[in-house]
Amino acid sequence: MTETLGAITWPEAARLAGSRTLVVPIGSTEQHGPHLPLGTDTMVVEALCRALAESNPAKVMLSPTIHIGASDEHRGFAGTLSVGTEALAASLQALAASASRFDGILFATTHGGNLPAMKLARAVLGDQGARCLWWWPGAVPPALAREGDLHAGWMETSIMLHLAPRLVRRDLASRGAMGSGDKLMAVLRSQGVAAVSANGVIGDPATASAETGRLLFEAMLTDLEATLTTGSGGGSGGGNAG
Ligand SMILES: [Zn+2]
């Protein structure tokens, strides 16, 4: 049975914590173009972590999800909420300290904006000797990658068509800026997404499909599982990507 921390009692947590890694899904509440919901990153990472817990019931305790992360680059769009990198990093460090009864902690996100905070938190926790892993989907099989597809484009729209098709406004999906080229990336970093894309999309969701989303989800889950079992995985703790 999948153990979800919010659904068990403290004596049960006391019995289970020492043999389980606390897996914390870190989402975002940020614009995902005119066609995807603000909770896209949260829904995707939560589904991945739940699937990980279901296939590793003796190793994983699923933590409540963090719904608001570091999304300052999306502040130009209504509905985006962000606590910024420093506050998120401080929060993750405190959270990990409070989870010391567990056999380690794994922070997972599909939102690149959360990565600096996760790495900062992990560096501090690692110095303190805590077992802390982090994961994001750094390694996507080449057949499932698209040049310039950074945000609310082909990949994310496909995954949402797989996970929550009723929340995808296909009729409103349109191409945004293409996320390649040093100039675009420099403007994006210094001025935010609104400075490079009027509709908030970076990529092209036109040919997104639920089947592509299923394949992407499975590839990400395999990668996340590798992080849990070996500490490796595409963009995971101490690893190469980010
Ligand atoms: Zn996203």
Query: pLDDT digit string (tens) for 168-197?
Result: 999 999 999 987 778 888 898 899 999 999
pLDDT of residue 239: 32
Q: What is the Å distance from ligand 1's center to 157 Cα? A: 9
Evaluate whether 201 touches 153 at the Cβ level (below 8 Å): yes
Q: What is the Å distance from ligand 1's center to 199 Cα? A: 14
Domain map of the chain by residue range?
5-230
Helix (H, G, I), strand (E, B) or coil at 135: strand
Q: Give CA 233 to chain center in angstroms.
A: 14
pLDDT of residue 230: 83
211-233: average pLDDT: 91
Question: Can you list the alpha helix ranges (DSSP code H) found in 99-139?
Answer: 115-127
Name the token pair of 39.
């909770």
Q: What is the Å distance from ligand 1's center to 28 Cα? A: 8
**pLDDT bucket at 147, cuts 50 / 70 / 90:** confident
pLDDT of residue 102: 95
pLDDT of residue 242: 29
The second-level CATH assignment, the architecture, of 5-230 is 3-Layer(aba) Sandwich (3.40)
Output 159 or 121, whichever has higher pLDDT: 159
30-45: average pLDDT: 98
Q: What is the Å distance from ligand 1's center to 3 Cα? A: 27
Q: Is the pLDDT of residue 241 over 50?
A: no
Torsional sign, CA 140, 87, 31, 65: positive
